[in-house]
Structure 1
Amino acid sequence: MEGSIRSTKSQPVTSTGPTVEPTCLGSSSTEVAVALQKLITEVIGTYMIVFTGCAAIVVNKITAGSITHAGICVTWGLIIMIIVYTLEHISCHFNPAVTITYALLRGFSWKQVPLYIVAQLLGSILASWTLTLLLDVTPEAYFGTVPSGSDAQSVVMEFIISFILMFVIFGTAFDERAHNQFAGIAIGMTILMNALFAGLASTLHPFFPPP
């Protein structure tokens, strides 16, 4: 989101709304420093999101459901909201889907997309590694999800909830007409809402009947 949540009229915008990003990482030392700052922010933000959300899942499984599914959903929604408000003035993608969508809308250079995705993957891997060191992550406490129905059902579900999330992000955080000071709340609540129903469709326990 690159600070566009608190954008002003003086910032250049494209016809689709998002703030125009530089076409490359820049050649001057200042531009390189800014680019590195954004990539480090992507690592840190993704780390905090994955660590917090997945920790809730692991602890819930280790403690036989003390956090509950609703508690896990709230945890994901809260950490997303916190990170957006904390880091959006530097960089605030934290998800390859956001980075790619931003590039498709021509508000972000395609040359930067691989670097951002690598930074996000690095943050996720470091968070997962930290959890394995701190908690007893047994196969039973695995914090990933396994489709309960068919692969096709899972793909359709992921497409729908990803569309909803991208729709909210780019409708609240990038559109100059939006009251984008509330973007963090809207995005966090969208994550919470999606997790409430889609999370149950991606567990080890049956939710959808087999086709």
Structure 2
Amino acid sequence: MPYLAEFVGTLLLILFGNGVVANVLLNKSKGNDSGTFMVTAGWGVGVAVGVYASGHVSGGHINPAVTIAYAINGTFAWSMVPGFILAQLAGAMAGSYLVYLTYGSQYQATEDPDAIFATFATAPEIRNTRDNFLTEMIGTAILVFGVLAIFAPGNQVGGQIGPALVGMLVFGIGMSLGGPTGYAINPARDLGPRIMHAVLSIKSKGKTDWGYAWIPIIAPIVGGIIGGVLFSMTSLGAPLS
């Protein structure tokens, strides 16, 4: 069932991604203070595993921005978009809860509310609405363009290694463009865990920062649309003969 596949794929994405953030930022964790490289690598692996797990059933979108881009390009039914997005959101919430269960003792040992929040959702290093929006929009446009290129009809490299290439793409985006906002580039990735941060009882937890939440939701959707349109306008959008 494609909806279940999207749920599982997104769950795995968040379990790996927010899991590595928890490993790096929470006190009394073996990976504490391991740095940005470890975080971006963990997210890249999470994307690859999530797409591998769901791709053969649902196409492995695990991201509302990707789902909407496929629908706009006419390669995915609009009637399935709401169900996919809800499944992705639920999977992100479930994955975030599993991270919380895994690092329960570390959450209790951590007194920094910003570190705790970072294991759930994204926040900008410098709050600037225009810049933060553009960062998320550009990153997602690149992501969607890359995904469409990797899995384009006739693209021989997009078969068995396609999910691994998407993971590498996300790793590269994180290393190159992740500094300003933490590169949500996925509305479900940010909103689902943000909801869990709001409802879970965690010592030293701070505010959920709903005032910023619209940016990692709307900007990736806009960026995904731009990436999809740009791809369809290039020769890469046509099947290889």
Aligned mate of 1:87, from 54, 63, 87: 54
Unmatched 5+ stretches in structure 1: 1-36, 204-211
Aligned mate of 1:146, from 112, 119, 123: 123
Tell me how far 1:178 sits from its aligned partner: 4.5
Aligned mate of 2:175, from 196, 199, 206: 196
State whether structure 2 residue 30 is matched by structure 1 residue 51.
Answer: no
| Alignment correspondent of 1:155 | 133
The answer on whether the counterparts of 1:168 and 1:186 sit within 8 Å (CA) in structure 2 is no
| Alignment correspondent of 1:107 | 75
Aligned mate of 1:134, from 102, 105, 111: 102
Task: State how 1:3-14 maps to structure 2 within 5 Å.
Answer: none
SS of the residue aligned with 2:76? Answer: coil
1:84-126 per-residue CA deviation (whole Å, 9 max, x = no partner) reads: 2333111111000010000001111111100000000000111
1:111-145 per-residue CA deviation (whole Å, 9 max, x = no partner) reads: 11000000000001111122223324452322222
What is the number of equivalent residue pairs in this alignment? 167
Q: CA RMSD in A?
A: 1.8
In 2, the alpha carbon distance for the partners of 1:80 and 1:103 equals: 21
In 2, the alpha carbon distance for the partners of 1:190 and 1:48 equals: 17
State whether structure 2 residue 137 is matched by structure 1 residue 184.
Answer: no
Task: State how 1:160-175 maps to structure 2 within 5 Å.
Answer: 160-175=138-153
| Alignment correspondent of 1:208 | none
State the percentage of identical aligned residues. 25
| Alignment correspondent of 2:44 | 77
Q: Which has the higher helix share?
A: 2
Which AA in structure 1 matches 2:83?
A: L
In 2, the alpha carbon distance for the partners of 1:109 and 1:185 equals: 26
| Alignment correspondent of 1:41 | 5
Unmatched 5+ stretches in structure 2: 183-241
In 2, the alpha carbon distance for the partners of 1:195 and 1:74 equals: 9
